Structure 1
Amino acid sequence: MEFVAVALISTILLSLGMAGSIEAGYRVGKHRLKKYPESKSEGAGAVESSVFAILGLILAFTFTGTLSRYEHRVKLVLQEANAIGTAYLRLDLLPKDAQDKLRPLYREYVQSRINVFEYYKDRELSNTHFRQSLKLQGQIWEIANASVLVDKNPGIITLVLSSTNDVIDIANERLQATRTHPPIIVYILLFTLALASAFLIGQDMSVNEKRPLLYMVIFCLTISGITYIIIDLENPRLGVVRIDTGDKVLVETLKSIQ
């Protein structure tokens, strides 16, 4: 809930900031019209169009990238489950004593991988499970590597070690995926353009006798709402939109190898 609260507060502040910018633009526009009633703002339309276009592009590209990363993280869960399932099945190619050593390690490994993301909000506990999974990776690789070298069968070596390596690689990919986010400068630019656009909108509204509050509210809520969705999707383990249901495939994999 801490992340959700921070995200909500950030977008609420953005919405209030845009409302303040609209009000400032409205007052500045009113003052200009009062002082120079016959003046014309040459080129103002081009500037406004440019700012609005850039804001729209930033929102579109950021949202598209965020949605793409969200979908990629979901796919990685399935890929990890498939990699583990394949590696586990290929243990049948190894000697019986090696199988007896590796099968419990794989079950323990899958449980540790589930725990890494199940307790993601508790960073210390999640990191503990992650370190455990790294330790298990080393043990699995060491035993598998030693086992395939007994008979030195090229086919078995390739099948077993390649699938074991895939299990390790996909874990690293999921780790990197959790760390991949838009640069902070993108959010700064987004917030700045939103405020600038609001100011320009306020100036355009200054020709009205009264403030069109409905349009002001719609604009502020739309931009802040999209921004919240972007922030939420970028953190699918902490926000409202979650990918926890995707982890069921790992739970099912664990049950299948019991």
Structure 2
Amino acid sequence: MDNITHYPLLVLVLSFITMWLSAWFGRFFLKKQHKLDDEARKDFDVILAATLTLLGLIIGFSFSMAIGRYDQRKNYEEAEANAIGTEYVRADLLPAVDAEKIRVLLRNYLDQRVLFYRTHYDRLLQQEINVRTAQLQTELWSAVQAPASAQPTPVVALAVSGMNDVLNSQGYSQAAFWNRIPTEAWSLMTAIAICCNVLVGYGLRDATEKAKLLPILPLVVSIAFMLIADIDAPRHGIILVNPQNLISLAESLRAH
């Protein structure tokens, strides 16, 4: 089962409900147990400000982590396109029959890599793509291994090296898709956010008009959580990696 943080909209809904209930808990339960007097409020305001500052820093760090992972996925997509394009050209260094076979396999492999990035919610299709990709990788390596064994020259070695880059780049991309913000980091961030909302609810003055401001912090924090989850999730949400380099390469190869 996927982690809840893999679904940004679910993160938005659940976090808002949790934060809102936390704020109301602080306002209606804790406040009945112990009301703040003017002297205690000064110390309380310092604690509240420090806690909110800490929450802001942690959200900022988490956002930075998510952006870093998103950029990494984009960079590896570009690296994959470059590796496949380079190997397609280096196929000319091999005998004509082997070169044509490798080009056909690379075009099929490229189609699978585009599908890998474009398939988001269909788990069965994702599994089929992974299986087909693994099969094509085996065929590609076999196709370049045969002429390399027959003619172990430095020129042929360039084609072998290029194929190695093609296979490695796929592994790097897959690892980047698996690299997510740790669940422990989400748990700590949520705990601090809950604490902040409890304190805000507890410190809110009794005026009815001011009570209407209570949902604002839960909403803002929930939106921040959703944005982090959206950027961090490679297959769900709105902000996804578009395989524009792979698509451009596929169109270029088909044109030739």
TM-score bucket (shorter structure): 0.7 to 0.9
Return the TM-score normalized by structure 1. 0.87
Partner of 1:137: 137
Query: Residues 131 and 148 (structure 1 numbering): CA distance in 2 closer, same or farther, change over 3 Å?
Result: same
Q: Kindly state the Cα deviation for residue 254 of structure 1 after the two structures are TM-superposed.
A: 1.7
The residue aligned with 1:11 is 12
2:7 touches 2:236 (CA, 8 Å); kept in 1? no
Query: For residue 230 of structure 1, what is the aligned residue in structure 2?
Result: 228
Alignment of 1:92-241 (within 5 A): 92-157=92-157, 159-206=158-205, 208-210=206-208, 212-241=210-239
Structure 2 equivalent of residue 29 of structure 1: 31
SS of 1:86's equivalent in the other structure is: helix
Q: Does residue 255 of structure 2 align to residue 256 of structure 1?
A: no
Q: Aligned AA for 1:10? A: V
Amino acid of the residue matched to residue 24 of structure 1?
Answer: F
Cα distance between partner residues in 2 of 1:39 and 1:120:
55
**Deviation string for 1:190-243 (max 9, x for gaps)?**
22111110111122213x433514532321221110000011111132212222
String of CA shifts for 1:5-62, please: whole Å, max 9, x gaps.
95324322322322222222223235523xx857736854554344323312221111
Partners of 2:193 and 2:46 in 1: CA distance: 17
Q: Taking structure 1 as reference, are residues 62 and 87 closer, same or farther at Cα in structure 2, changes over 3 Å only? A: same
Structure 2 gap ranges (5+): none
Any gaps of 5 or more consecutive residues in structure 1? none
Checking the alignment, whether the CA contact within 8 Å between 1:87 and 1:164 is kept in structure 2 is yes
Q: How many positions carry a matched residue from both structures?
A: 251
Q: Secondary structure at the match of 1:216?
A: coil
TM-score if structure 2 supplies the norm length? 0.87
Distance 1:43 1:37, change over 3 A: closer
Secondary structure of the 2:207 match is coil
Q: Contact conserved, 1:205 with 1:211, CA < 8 A, in 2? A: no
Q: Residue 120 of structure 1 aligns to which amino acid in structure 2? A: H
- Equivalents in 2 of 1:125, 1:112: separation in Å? 11
Deviation beyond 4 Å, 4+ runs, structure 1: 3-6, 36-39
Amino acid at match of 2:128: T
Alpha-carbon spacing, 1:55–1:152, altered in 2? closer, same or farther (3 Å): same
